[in-house]
Structure 1
Amino acid sequence: MMRSLVISILVISLAAVGSVFALNIVSLERERLRREEGIGIVMPSAVARIVALEFKGIFADIIFSRAMTYYGGKLIREEELTGEEWDWIYKNMDLATDLDNYFLDPYYFGAVNLSWGANKVKEANALLEKALKYRDWDWTIPFNLGFNHFYFLQDNKKAASYLIEASKRPGSGNLIPTLGARLEYEGNRTENAVIFLEENLKTTDDETIRYIYEERLKALKSILFLERAVTAYQSRFNKRPKKLEDLIARGIISEIPKDPYGGQFYIDEGGSIKTTSGLFHK
């Protein structure tokens, strides 16, 4: 009986020491978050899990906050992120979601920013695939995967399969099956992208994410407006306009809309509407 008591005391003591150690690490990480501005080495997931002990959720918050602090600082200074910096941010999102598999914010950040801003659709999809496994009730995860495959990878068949998955999850609404059917056709790419973003806005409460979606939606609606104007020009004059100014000169439109990202819309060599901003703040 005495031996059992001694063993119990040792186990409790070791657990207490481990908790104190982990709390000290948490405190040090928070202090480092306040001090550091540059990127550094991202702790391997296996090591982080050992160090965090039962405080994995707190560690995930710290890791995510550190990456967001760095990202926010770059935006405030109007500095473009390098490929190395985007890789570092992705690794932090990946680590945060390894520690807390249900942590929505890193998943959403990856879906919105890694795909659009960094042109890292593969990494964004890797985060969303992880979310698909753990957040198996959340219809917005397969919905965003569907959008990435449709808009960035131009894989309508794969996109439609994700939309089917999204439609089976609670709260998805009636629009998703219709949108999935629309993807069977190769045309209407910009129009379908507008529908995707409008649907995302309906279920997004985070003000930062809403702002990002609203800005991109405004840009895509401008592109759609210009695409339809080009079609009207072709129908009337049996030829493509060489530049957007031709649409004004021939009375198709009264003015060229502004790109909310600060770029200039133009017609590329293939006849598509593009913008010098690439739909991202430089």
Structure 2
Amino acid sequence: MIARLDRGFLVGFALALLFVTSAAFVHLAARPRLEKVREEELLYYPSGFMVRQATLGYETAAADVAWLRGIQYYGEHRLSDQKFEMIGHVMDIVTELDPRFVQPYVFGAFVLAQEMKRPERGLELLQRGLRANPSDWKIAFEIGFLHYVCRHDAASAAHYFTLASRMPGHEEYVERFAAFANQRAGNTGMAILLWKHVLATGNKYMQEVAQRELRRLGAI
């Protein structure tokens, strides 16, 4: 109990100090350049370097606090002006503090790509996540999804869907996406291999889908 109280006190004190310092900086130096951003929002989003220096070794706990504030920020703007200009910055801070925290990469990329129409920025965040978590299928899958939906790049989507399908713990639908994307990209051999795997492991409906696609590919 004492250790948990000490940890909470230190993190709270560090973040409070950080926010006050950031507020002073914004007020004195940056205000003319940030007219379109509410000043009170900036208090929650100092630089990643400042956050790391202030957390006193409790980066994971600070990442949790920043993540919760990021979700709150998204919710507030989702219900009001639907502008999320700071979401990329705050997700950068969260993932810098805790690079193994997967959800901020995925959520941040979704908002950036789908709601802000900035797929390249979303892909940049996900690629950084994949470098930090090279065996996480969710990140690889989301990269493939953004390539397919936002960039209409079937070849890149096929690459990342296939990569995700080779990672441990992936959901069964990953093979279906990989097979379909490879088929669309003209990677017939890989598509056949993946559809055969779906045929061998999927439920009745997916077996029927796999059989249909394999017939189209002349594999059965």
TM-score (norm 2): 0.62
Cα deviation code 1:153-210 (max 9, x no counterpart): 0111111111121011012255434432322327xxxxxxxxxxxxxxxxxxxxxxxx
Distance in 1, matches of 2:69 and 2:175, equals 39
Task: Within 5 Å, give how 1:1-282 maps onto structure 2.
Answer: 23-27=12-16, 38-40=40-42, 42-75=45-78, 78-82=79-83, 86-173=84-171, 175-183=173-181, 184-185=183-184
Q: 1:57 to 1:164 in 2, by over 3 A?
A: same
Distance in 1, matches of 2:18 and 2:47, equals 15
Determine what percentage of the aligned residue pairs are the same residue: 26
Name the structure with the higher helix share.
Answer: 2
- What is the one-letter code of the residue matched to 1:40? L
Cα deviation code 1:28-58 (max 9, x no counterpart): 5699xxxx99421632222322222211112
Cα deviation code 1:59-118 (max 9, x no counterpart): 21222222222221233xx32323xxx231110001110010011231221133222212
State the SS of the aligned residue for 2:92: helix
Once the two structures are TM-superposed, the CA of residue 140 in structure 1 deviates from its matched residue by 1.2
Aligned residues: 160
Distance in 1, matches of 2:138 and 2:166, equals 11
Distance in 2, matches of 1:173 and 1:21, equals 39
Runs of 4+ residues over 4 Å off in structure 1: 19-23, 27-31
* Gaps in structure 2 of 5+ consecutive residues: 1-7, 21-37, 186-220
- What is the one-letter code of the residue matched to 2:80? E
Distance in 1, matches of 2:100 and 2:180, equals 31
- What is the one-letter code of the residue matched to 1:185? R
Verify the 8 A CA contact 1:107 1:127 in the aligned structure 2. yes
Match of 2:189 in 1: none
Q: 1:176 to 1:95 in 2, by over 3 A?
A: same
Note the aligned Cα RMSD (angstroms): 3.0
Distance in 2, matches of 1:97 and 1:164, equals 25
Verify the 8 A CA contact 2:11 2:58 in the aligned structure 1. yes
Verify the 8 A CA contact 2:147 2:154 in the aligned structure 1. yes
TM-score (norm 1): 0.50
Q: 1:58 to 1:158 in 2, by over 3 A?
A: same
- What is the one-letter code of the residue matched to 1:120? R
